[in-house]
A and B are shown apart, each in its own frame.
Chain A
Amino acid sequence: MSTPQVRVIAGDSAQEDRRDENRLQEQKTLVEVEHLKKYFPIRGGFFSHAVGSVRAVDDVTFDIRQGETFGLVGESGCGKSTLGRVILRLQEPTAGIVRFDGVDLTRLRPRQMRKMRQQMQIIFQDPFGSLNPRFTIGDIIAEPLVVHGVAKGREIEERVAELMRLVGLDPSRRNHYPHEFSGGQRQRVGIARALALNPKFIVADEAVSALDVSVQSQVINLLSDLQDELGLTYLFIAHGLNVVRHISDRVGVMYLGKLAEIAETDEIFGHAAHPYTAALLSAMPVPNPHRKRERIVLQGEVPSPAHPPQGCRFHTRCPFAQQRCREEEPQMREISAGHWVACHFPMGDVA
């Protein structure tokens, strides 16, 4: 196995390709999301009644396979974080189904759901806000073990030390408080906490966005090493494609509460079919000053998710929009094996 540093910098090595193949051979689906919706009511008027709703997640269907990393990208406010939280039922869905290992999470009682949380965890974006300032690091990491009753006394201490070593923290600092750690270290604490119960599935909700670039790659490498060691499945949420590229097996692109495109990572980066994906790709910096590229610069603002446009949600900003896009909402369809796109006129589909 190549060292983590080399892997990120060199990207596609032959070894990594093999690893990916191994991973994709297990085609068992771990998480199935069907027609998931999350609307937030907008309250107003004299009696604070609902006067409308923000459609943060609007009819999203996809699945995540066991052992893979599913990258989810989109601009801020597109609903990707909400999607991650609704999948874990940290927020209640408005409609739709989430199946985890065949179990419909949306129907579980709170008690059953809490038990289920042993298997699914989340790493939050903000390493400063997501750790309780009144708790020591040791208490934060130990708490899942305590509340789920999986370890006692001495075992807890040992497990905490083991987890801290696993994420590269010095176990002797377990009695320190979060404010005594740097951002990267705090994120490691968040990862250790998420791993405490040996979960199968982890949602990394912009887990590296708040960190500076050098620390970002450390944390990404850590996540990907842990995946190899522990056989984890990730939903990796990010707003930039470059972060997602290095860690994901498949990528989903989200726009205004809906998935625009889903495909394997290479396919997305090689043959983006949705104009929005293409625009995101063209905004990625390329470390080569001589390479000239055609850039697709999107005009205008993201429309309000309270009043999404008719037809295709992207038509107001799409450089290729036609009359049909304004009238008819495109459905997800498979344009090649495993490559799904919601667009009437996918790119590269030269007629």
Chain B
Amino acid sequence: MSAYILRRVLQSVLVLFLVTIATFLLIHAAPGGPTSIFLAPGLSPQAQYIQAHNLGLDRPLPIQYLDWLWRMLHGDFGSTFKNGIPVGSLVWPTLLNTIILMGIAWVVTLLIAIPWGIYNSTREYGISDTVATVISYAGFALPAFWLGLMLQQIFAMRLGWLPLSDMWSRGQEGNLADLARHLVLPVVTLVIGFLAGYVKYSRSSMLEVLGQDYIRTARAKGVPESKVIFRHALRNALIPIITILGLDLPIVVAGAALTETVFNWPGMGRLFVSEATAREYNVLMAITVITAIVVVAGNLIADLLYAVVDPRVRLGEKEGETT
């Protein structure tokens, strides 16, 4: 088991290293460097060159890369070209804001979706199942910017029940009740978008397991139906659900650029979009690498959880430790 963990961790480190190379090259290959975007248009080539030199952008790419990687390993993401603000001080607060929004939306989604999917699997094509299908279509079809705007229009503008946007009311920073009121609309927007997939997924995962022979065996034993569902079926159905959770974990961090923009939420997705137009390489690379770390970690966690849930994945386990 520990050998398995070690191998998976080493694989993850290798993947992250490759991600940094790819990120670096792709961002530097994109047309329109920082000098032509935020410095005064019509600047002479000489002046542009001097600017680039001051920012260290005239050095060979491999040198730039190694310099960046070395500093990043020490927790330094560099600073913005425009104002010289340290990237860390820009990114970390937005990351926290994104995790608050997305984490809550995600957990709410799962708390609704997984029990609902399980319930629907036991009453296939019933009323609840049909409702879930309709919501699925709606959730997939309604883009976040439209749904978000509609919710704002109704609940903030017309009814005035909830704040229109932002994370805090002015002067209320740190007031959790105020934060909760600001969270409602973006969370609802996100949950409606997420819900469809998870309900369908947990339903079909359960249905597949419920069709297995060993479920029939359990019923033949005389096991009560509730135990058939929760003891026999759910344990097996959880594995594909865990996979999806692991793969989706990054959305909690990467954020939803559209929803964050609509609700003016100071999150990382919104930051990425605004900094992309400004060609702030250091910010973009920092966000990409942070996201990559979470992607890789999510996969790693899913793999390790398999081992917990599925005895067949416990590789390298000693035979005959039983009595």
Using CB atoms and an 8 Å cutoff, list the residues of chain A in contact with chain B: 48, 85, 88, 90, 110, 114-115, 117-118, 121-122, 124, 126, 129-135, 143-144, 147-148, 172-177, 179, 190, 193
Residues of A within 8 A of B218 (CB): 132, 143
Q: Contacts A175-B323, A179-B312; is A130 near B214 (CB within 8 Å)?
A: yes
The answer on a CB contact under 8 Å between A90 and B219 is yes
Across the interface, name the chain A residue whose C-beta is closest to B235. Answer: A134
**A114 and B322 in contact, given A129-B213, A132-B236, A134-B310 (Cβ under 8 angstroms):** no
Which of the 9-residue segments B42-50, B54-62, B221-229, B295-303 touches chain A? B221-229
Report whether A132 and B232 are in contact in the complex, using a CB–CB cutoff of 8 Å: yes
A-B interface contact total, Cβ < 8 Å: 75
Is the CB–CB distance between B214 and A132 below 8 Å?
A: yes
Collect the chain A residues with CB atoms within 8 Å of residue B217's CB.
122, 124, 130-132, 190, 193
Given A131-B214, A172-B323, A176-B322, verify A147-B223 contact (CB < 8 Å). Answer: yes
Q: For the complex, is B212 an interface residue (Cβ under 8 Å from A)?
A: yes
Task: Indicate the member of B213, B214, B309 with the most A CB atoms within 10 Å.
Answer: B214
> Chain B contacts of A85 at CB under 8 A?
216
**Given the complex of chains A and B, what is the CA–CA distance between A110 and B214 in angstroms?**
20
The reply to whether A115 and B222 form a contact with Cβ atoms under 8 Å apart is yes
How far does the Cβ of A310 sit from chain B's closest Cβ, in whole Å?
34
Rounded to whole angstroms, the CA-CA distance of A90 and B323 in the bound complex is 36
Contact between A147 and B221, CB atoms less than 8 A apart: yes
- Residues B280-323 near A (CB distance < 8 A): 309-312, 322-323
- Residues of chain B within 8 A (CB-CB) of A118 are 222
Q: Which residues of A contact B213 (CB under 8 A)?
A: 124, 126, 129-130
Contact (Cβ within 8 A) B236 A133 = yes
Q: Which of A90, A110, A179 contacts B216 (CB 8 A)?
A: A90
Q: Is the CB of A90 within 8 A of B310?
A: no
Which residues on B sit within 8 Å (CB–CB) of A88?
220
Least CB distance from B242 to A in Å reads: 13
What are the residues of chain A within 8 A of B227 when measuring CB–CB? 147
Complex-state Cα separation, A88 to B222, whole angstroms? 11
Contact indicator A147/B222 (Cβ below 8 Å): yes
In the complex, chain B residues whose CB is within 8 Å of the CB of A115: 222
Q: Shortest beta-carbon distance, A49 to chain B, in Å?
A: 11
- Residue from the list B216, B221, B312 in contact with A117, Cβ < 8 A: B221
A133–B222 touching, CB < 8 Å: no
CB pair B216–A124 under 8 Å, yes or no, is yes
A133 to B218, CA, bound (A): 12
Q: CA of A174 to CA of B215 in the docked complex: distance in angstroms?
A: 20
28 of the cross-chain contacts (CB-CB < 8 Å) are A90-B220, A114-B222, A114-B224, A117-B222, A121-B221, A122-B217, A124-B216, A126-B213, A129-B212, A129-B213, A130-B214, A130-B216, A131-B214, A132-B214, A132-B218, A132-B232, A132-B235, A133-B214, A133-B310, A134-B232, A134-B236, A135-B232, A143-B221, A143-B223, A173-B322, A174-B322, A176-B322, A190-B217
Q: CB-CB < 8 A to B225: which residues of A?
A: 110
B155 in the interface (beta carbon within 8 A): no
B 192-233 to A, binary, CB cutoff 8 A, 1 in contact else 0 = 000000000000000000001111111111111101000010
Bound CA–CA A110/B222 (angstroms): 10
- Per the bound structure, the CA–CA distance linking A121 and B212 in Å amounts to 18
Cβ contacts under 8 Å, A144 to chain B = 221-222
Which of A114, A124, A132 gathers the greatest number of chain B CB atoms within 10 Å? A132
Q: Is the CB of A129 within 8 A of B222?
A: no
Collect the chain A residues with CB atoms within 8 Å of residue B215's CB.
Answer: 132
Cα separation A336 to B212 with both chains bound (whole Å)? 43
Can you add 9 more A-B contacts, CB < 8 Å, to A48-B125, A117-B222, A130-B216? A88-B220, A130-B217, A132-B218, A134-B236, A134-B309, A144-B221, A147-B223, A173-B322, A179-B311
User: With A126-B213, A132-B214, A173-B322 in contact, is A121–B236 under 8 Å at CB?
Assistant: no
Bound-state Cα–Cα, A172 to B323, Å: 6
Set of chain A residues within 8 Å of B220, measured between Cβ atoms: 88, 90, 117, 121-122
B311 with A175: CB separation less than 8 A = no
**Cβ of B306 to closest chain A Cβ, rounded Å:** 12
Top 4 A-B residue pairs of the complex, sorted by shortest distance between their CB atoms: A175-B322, A117-B222, A129-B213, A132-B214
> Which chain A residue lies CB-closest to B222?
A117
- Bound-state Cα–Cα, A85 to B322, Å: 36
* Chain A residues near B223 (CB-CB < 8 A): 143, 147
- Kindly provide the distance from the CB of A350 to the nearest chain B CB, expressed in whole angstroms: 46
A114 neighbours in B (Cβ, 8 Å): 222, 224
Contact between A133 and B311, CB atoms less than 8 A apart: yes
Residues on B with beta carbons closer than 8 Å to the beta carbon of A135: 232
Please give, as numbers and ranges, the residues of chain B lying within 8 Å of A124 by CB-CB distance: 213, 216-217
> In the assembled complex, how far is the CB of residue B141 from the closest CB belonging to chain A, in whole angstroms?
21
B311: contacting residue among A110, A129, A134, A147, CB under 8 A: A134
Q: Give a binary string over B102-113; 1 marks a CB under 8 Å from any A CB, 0 the rest.
A: 000000000000
Compute how far the CA of A179 lies from the CA of B219 in the bound complex, rounded to whole angstroms: 21
- Cβ contacts under 8 Å, A143 to chain B: 218, 221, 223
Enumerate chain B residues within 8 angstroms of A121, measured Cβ to Cβ.
220-221
Q: Which B residues are CB-close (under 8 A) to A132?
A: 214-215, 217-218, 232, 235-236
Q: How far is the CB of B228 from chain A (nearest CB, A)?
A: 10
Whether B224 pairs with A147 at a CB distance below 8 angstroms is yes
Tell me, in angstroms, the Cα distance from A114 to B220 when the chains sit together. Answer: 8
- The CA of A121 and the CA of B223, in the complex, are separated in Å by 12
> Complex: how many Å from CA A177 to CA B220?
20
B311–A177 contact, CB under 8 A?
yes
Q: How far is the CA of A224 from the CA of B310 in the complex (A)?
A: 36
The residue on B at minimum CB distance from A114 is B222
- Give the Cβ gap from B132 to chain A, nearest Cβ, in Å: 16
User: How many whole Å from A24's CB to the nearest CB in chain B?
Assistant: 28
- With A133-B311, A134-B311, A172-B323 known to touch, is A148 a contact of B214 (CB < 8 Å)? no
Which residues from chain A contact B236 at a C-beta distance below 8 Å?
A: 132-134
* Most A C-beta atoms less than 10 A away, residue of B125, B215, B223: B223
Complex Cα distance, B213 from A170, in Å, reads 25
